[in-house]
Homo-oligomer: A and B are copies of this chain.
Amino acid sequence: MKTTIYDVAKEAGVSIATVSNVINNNGRVGEKTRQKVLKTMAQLEYSPSVVASALTGKKTNTVGLLIPDISNPFFADIARSIEDRGNELGISVIICSTDNLEEKEKKYISLLIRKSVDGFILASGVKSLDLLEEVMEKKIPVALIANDIPSLPITTVTIDDFKGGYIGTKHLLSLNHTKIAMIAEHAWSNIQRINGYKQALLEQNVEPREEYFIKTEATIERGKEAGLQLLNLEEPPSAIFACNDLLAIGAIEAARELGFDLPNDLSVIGFDNTVLCRLTVPKLTSVSQPIHDMGKKVFDMLLDSDFTNQKTLFMPELVVRESSGKYKDTV
């Protein structure tokens, strides 16, 4: 049988309350007794049951992480940063890939509620706001990372997406591009990025063109489709700003297929600065999110009620690689 607190108590000749106290460092234990208990705990290889402890109202030291897909490198990076912080704190992270499906979202959340997780970190766009409010009513902490629901008071860690869109576009503008297209996806963060893009254009008196703007899903395939569509335009753009790296990679594929030579005939920049950026040819210029810091921060905010419903904004940074270059009117 598994050793319990009773075994330790008996062996050490003390009560279970005392053992409990030494486990939790709850004062009122004489130094001698403490040592004796510690020793027998070691002897018996006793390890306290989190399950039993949780039943008495203590934490489960487990949080749920909802992301669209763990096999997407961007989210895998987020997961890793959160997991690392969890490991430091002795808290386990349960992964939940929702594929942005409301059904999966619900299933995962209700299961994790039954498991009494200490909180939820959401990196996916939340489909079911009702569910989310239900969770918050139950006083289960919730925090968002790399996405926001502006309509809700909720703990959030994001980058300044407006600025992200702005600096990316500025970069292209500074390379003399004016025919700058944007491929975005449906997400709140993207709306801000789009606004930043438009702001940058307007500041240079460049009128955003309707046909240079595509909204689609965040996959390489869709990015390629969008790229194809853009580059087959009568007057194709000389630069494409993709709202995430996957879309950018798709756009690059499209460009290669159509015989464009990057960055001479076309500049492409991405967003997120994932590991993928260094794999593309040419290497992808991208707007970077400080994922590691963000993961740590969101975890800490989740657990510290001082931060409840606060919003933390990190600053994006442009990482210039080889996929963006000076505009040359070669046509």
Cross-chain contact of A55 among B51, B61, B64, B90 (Cβ < 8 A): B51
Stretch touching chain B among A25-33, A150-158, A232-240, A276-284 = A276-284
Q: How many copies does the complex hold?
A: 2
Cross-chain contact of A279 among B69, B76, B249 (Cβ < 8 A): B249
A87 close to B (CB within 8 Å): yes
C-alpha spacing A48/B111, complex, angstroms: 10
A70 close to B (CB within 8 Å): yes
A42 close to B (CB within 8 Å): no
Determine if B95 and A115 form an interchain contact, defined as CB atoms under 8 angstroms apart: no
Interface string of A278-314 (1 = CB under 8 A from B): 1111000000000000000000000000000000000
Interface string of A181-206 (1 = CB under 8 A from B): 00000000000000000000000000
A72 CB to nearest chain B CB (Å): 8
Stretch touching chain B among A77-85, A168-176, A323-331 = A77-85
C-alpha spacing A114/B138, complex, angstroms: 26
A216 close to B (CB within 8 Å): no
Cross-chain contact of A54 among B51, B79, B256 (Cβ < 8 A): B51
Cross-chain contact of A69 among B51, B80, B114 (Cβ < 8 A): B80
Cross-chain contact of A95 among B83, B108, B249 (Cβ < 8 A): B83
A261 CB to nearest chain B CB (Å): 13
